[in-house]
Amino acid sequence: MKVYIRTFGCQMNERDSEFIAGLFMEKGYELIDSPEEADIVLFNTCSVREHAEERAISNMGHLMKQYKNKIYGMVGCAAQALKGKLFERLPKLGLVCGTGEIAKLPELVEKIVDSSGGLNLRYLEEARKSKILACENIDGDIPELRSRYRENNKRAYVSIMRGCDNFCSYCIVPYVRGRERSRKIEYILNEIKGLGKRGIKDITLLGQNVNSYRPDFVNLLGEINKIQGVEKINFLTSHPKDANIELFKAIQDSDKIIKHLHLPLQSGSDRILKLMNRGYTREKYLNLIGEARNIIQGLHLTTDIIVGFPTETEEDFNDTLNLMKDTKFGMAYIFKYSPRTGTEAAKLADDVPADVKGKRHKILLDLQREIHKRKIYEKTRCHCVN
C-alpha cells in the first residue's frame, strides 16, 4: 500500500507529517511523493487563516474527482476544527483525524483496508457513513519517539512542546492543538543525541512559544548545546511577553545557537495589542528588541504582522508602519486578519473592509521589500539559513 501525505501550515505540521509518515513506513507502507499512484491520500491541514483551510478542502475535492477508489483522509488542525463538517464538504472523505490522535492513523486506515491489502470498499462506505472521527483527545501527547523516520539526513525538527495557552484573541491554535505540554527534557535530549549519532547536525526546536517551555528553556538550550555531534541549534517561535535577557545571553554565548530570533509583533498599536491579548505594549516590545540587539551580535530579527484586526484605524496602522520603518526587521511575514470561529476576536465585527486590508497589506509588503532591497537591515543580519 502506498501513502501520499501533503502538508499545509507551519513547521509543527511538517514535523507531524514526518511522524505520521514514519508510523506508516514502520507498518510496511510505502511513502510516495505524488497522489496519482497512492492508495491512501492524507492532507495534514492548517486552520490558522480561512484561506489555508479552504485551499486544503478545495485541493482535496479536485483530487477526489480525478482519482476514485483511494482512501482520503483529512488530518491535523483544520480536521480538529471542522471535524464532521468535513464529511459534508467532502462526501468522498474516508476519515478525519485531529491533532491529538495522529498516532492512531495507521490503525484508522487499517480499518478501511482489507486483509489482502486492497481497499475494503464495503468498509470504506461504512466508514464514510459512520464518519470515522478521531478528534477528541487534543490534550493527550503523542509518543513521538516511536518514529525514527527523518526526511532529511542533515537537519531535523525536534518538537519540545505542543499546544498553546496564550489565547491571543485572533488565534485558533490553542483550540486545535490543546493546552501547552512540555516534553520531558530527557526525551528531548535522547532524541537529539540519537540524531547527532546519525550525523544530523542541524536542529530546529519547535513550539508555539518556546520561551514558556517548562521547567526552563534556557537550561534546555544549555543541555542541547553540550550534545556531541550537534553543530547548529535554531528554535521557533519566541513570544515577546516571555523572551528575556537570559535567553539573549544564552544565544550570544553559544557558538552553536543561530543568531536568529523570530519575535512576532502582530501590531505596533497599544490599543490593538490589548485587543489581541498579546500581553505586551509597543514600548515593551521596543525595549526588548533593543536589548536583544545589544546583547546578540549580528542578530537576525524577524516578525509576524496582522493588518486589519477588528477596529484597526489608520492611526493604529500607522503605529505599525512607523515601528517597522524604525526597526527594519530582517524579514516580516504580513497577514490579513481572518476571523476564526470560536476565538474571542471572532465575536467582534470583522469591520475593516477587504480593500483597506489589501491596501495596508501592500504598504507593509512594499516597505519590507524596500528594506530588503536596500539591505538597510544588513548590520543586524547574520548568515543563518532562515
Contacting positions for ligand F3S (CB under 6 A): 9-10, 12-13, 46-48, 77, 172-173, 176-177
Q: Residue 380 gets which letter from DSSP?
A: G
- Retrieve residue 172's grid coordinates: 485558533
Of 44, 80, 208, 212, the residue at the interface with ligand SAH (CB under 6 A) is 208
Number of residues that bind ligand SAH (CB under 6 A): 17
Please name the helix (run of DSSP H) or strand (run of DSSP E) that holds residue 249, with its range, or none.
helix 245-253
Task: Supply the minimum distance, in Å, between the C-beta of residue 8 and ligand F3S.
Answer: 7
The CB-of-77 to ligand SAH minimum distance in angstroms stands at 10
Q: CB under 5 to 8 A by kind: which of ligand F3S, ligand SAH, ligand SF4, none does 174 bind?
A: ligand SF4
Q: Is 267 in the site for ligand SAH (CB under 6 A)?
A: no
Q: Pick the binder of ligand SF4 from 35, 76, 174, 196 (CB under 6 A).
A: 174
Among 340, 357, 360, 361, binds ligand SAH (CB under 6 A): 340
Which residues in the 25-54 window bind ligand SAH by CB under 6 A?
48-49
Task: Quote helix, strand, coil % in the chain, to nearest 5.
Answer: 45, 15, 40
The entry of ligand SF4, ligand SAH, ligand F3S, none that residue 24 binds, CB within 5 to 8 Å by partner kind? none
Supply the minimum distance, in Å, between the C-beta of residue 171 and ligand SAH.
4
- Give 267's DSSP letter: -
For residue 35, the 8-state DSSP code is S
Say whether residue 13 binds ligand SF4 (CB under 6 A): no
Q: What pairs with residue 80 in β-bridges?
A: none
Q: Contact 328/299 with Cβ under 8 angstroms?
A: no
Half-sphere exposure of 82 (CA within 13 A, CB side): 23
CA distances from 80 to 96, 135, 365 (A): 8, 6, 32
Q: Which of ligand SF4, ligand SAH, ligand F3S, none lies near 267, with the C-beta cut-off 5 to 8 A by kind? A: none
Residue pair 275/345 in contact (Cβ under 8 Å)? The answer is yes
The CB density around residue 59, as the number of other CB atoms within 10 Å, is 14
Whole-angstrom CA distances from 137 to 75, 130, 176 are 14, 19, 11
> CA-CA distance, 120 to 20, in Å (whole number)?
22
Choosing among ligand SF4, ligand SAH, ligand F3S, none, which partner's interface includes residue 176 (Cβ < 5 to 8 Å by kind)?
A: ligand F3S
Q: Which three cell numbers stand for residue 228?
A: 556531541
C-alpha to C-alpha distance for 381 and 386, rounded to whole angstroms: 11
Give me the 200-219 binding string for ligand SF4, x by CB under 6 A, dash otherwise: --------xx----------
> Does the protein bind ligand SAH through residue 304 (CB under 6 A)?
yes
Binding site for ligand SAH (CB under 6 A): 48-49, 170-171, 173, 208-209, 237, 239, 264, 266, 304, 306, 335, 337-338, 340
Q: State the residues that interact with ligand SF4 by CB under 6 A.
A: 164, 166-168, 171, 173-174, 208-209, 239
